[in-house]
Amino acid sequence: MISEGSAFLDRSGRLIVADAGFRMLLGLPAGDASDALRGRLCADSSLAALVAGEGPESVRLAASDGAPACDLHRVESDAGLLLRASATDSVLAAPAIEYAMQGIALVRLAASLAHEVKNPLNAMALQLALLTDKIGTTSEELASASAGNLLSLKNQIHRINEVMRRYLEVVDPGPSGGFDAGSLLADATNLFGHEARRRRIALVPCEAVPGSVRAAGDPGRVARLLLGLLWRAVTGTAEGGRLVARAATTVSGAVLAVEHTRGNPDPALAWMGEVIEAAVPELGARLEESSEGDTVRVALVLPKERPL
């Protein structure tokens, strides 16, 4: 799957396919754009050299004929040529910036909302405890008859409270430094329980002992990466398949792994791979991907927390 802003040319330079992003960035019309691309090749020697396989693998194209400035990168193969275009104009980058701002705002808003939910839940639990005591002192028969109902209410309040705790730990895990990576993976995996059931996937959350797998780094960024890795795994697991999360400390570091039954990946999520690959090195981490039979394994290897 090629990313948005891509086109494929055969060895003669004929345009085979181009997505909407590529057409927009190079000012190409809908439909057969081969003639329009040839026109740009004749007008721009750097573009012509790039397509011909001469010179550097990347060039920056100036704005021309209504097309914005953009960076163009060449990837060669025996079958032809893959061209990938990306905007250099900050105006074109505005939607991505808006999405980033929206993401930051939603995380903070969701964390605030979770706190707002937890407060009435705690009040409900307290009132339920008082009600249980009052019923017990009023009538043994009534206490016996309502015991099951009261226990069910108590369990449901505890269940919602636990979901809120997990959610807060994932979206707002606290300041950078050493953190419990195993518990973070467990909380993140549990948040996908409903989606897994809806897709008929057997979800096995991480069972690492709390505090046994600790890592160094920014837990907020690691949490975001885990959510992306887990969402790709859930959507890429075959119906009736299995998804297992594992955490362990090895010589290499703190390993957070997701294993799942191979399915059909969602093409709309292809961009996540590039984001994850770009973010991992910045955390001093690495990504290990492998497969065996129908099982796909993706592991995020983080640096271990250094003892004080």
Q: Same structural domain for residues 200 and 290?
A: yes
80 and 159, same domain (yes or no): no
Is position 21 within any domain? yes
Last residue within a domain, chosen from 171, 188, 219: 171
Residue 71 lies in a domain: yes
160, 210: one domain? no
Domain of residue 164: give its range. 94-171
Q: What is the pLDDT of residue 44?
A: 82
Q: How many domains does the chain have?
A: 3
Q: In this structure, are 83 and 104 located in the same domain?
A: no
Four-residue CA torsion sign, 271, 289, 174, 206: positive
- Beta strands (DSSP E) in 214-303 are 214-215, 242-249, 254-261, 286-292, 295-302
Strand boundaries in 55-119, DSSP class E: 58-61, 70-76, 80-87
Question: Is the pTM for the entire model greater than 0.75?
Answer: no
* 35 backbone dihedrals φ, ψ, rounded to 5°: -65, -40
Last residue of a domain, one of 68, 87, 106: 87
**Is the residue at 130 inside a domain?**
yes
| Whether residue 189 is found in the same domain as residue 161 | no
**270 and 188 housed in the same domain:** yes
**What is the CATH number for 82?**
3.30.450
**What's the pLDDT tens digit per position in 186-237?**
999 988 988 999 999 999 989 888 889 999 988 888 988 898 899 999 999 9
Name the token pair of 34: 């081969």
What was the pLDDT predicted at 89? 53
Query: Both 239 and 289 in a single domain?
Result: yes
Q: What is the pLDDT of residues 9-21, one digit of tens each?
A: 876 777 888 877 7
**Would residue 286 count as lying in a domain?**
yes
> Is the domain of 289 the same as that of 201?
yes
Within-domain flag for 307: no
Q: How far is CA 105 from the centre of its chain?
A: 17
Those residues of the chain that have pLDDT short of 70 are 1-4, 11, 30-31, 64-68, 78-79, 88-112, 171-172, 174-176, 307-308
pLDDT at 285: 92
Q: Pick left, alpha or beta for residue 53 (phi over 0 → left; psi -120 to 50 → alpha; otherwise beta).
A: left
Instruction: Indicate the residue among 171, 197, 213 that finishes a domain.
Output: 171
Q: Does residue 42 belong to any structural domain of this protein?
A: yes
- 1 domain residue, yes or no: no
Query: Are residues 112 and 75 part of one domain?
Result: no
Q: Is residue 24 domain-shared with residue 51, that is, in the same domain?
A: yes
Q: CA 23, CA 305: separation in Å to the nearest integer?
A: 47
Q: Are residues 17 and 72 in the same domain?
A: yes
Contact 23, 32 (CB under 8 A): no
Same domain, 120 and 205: no
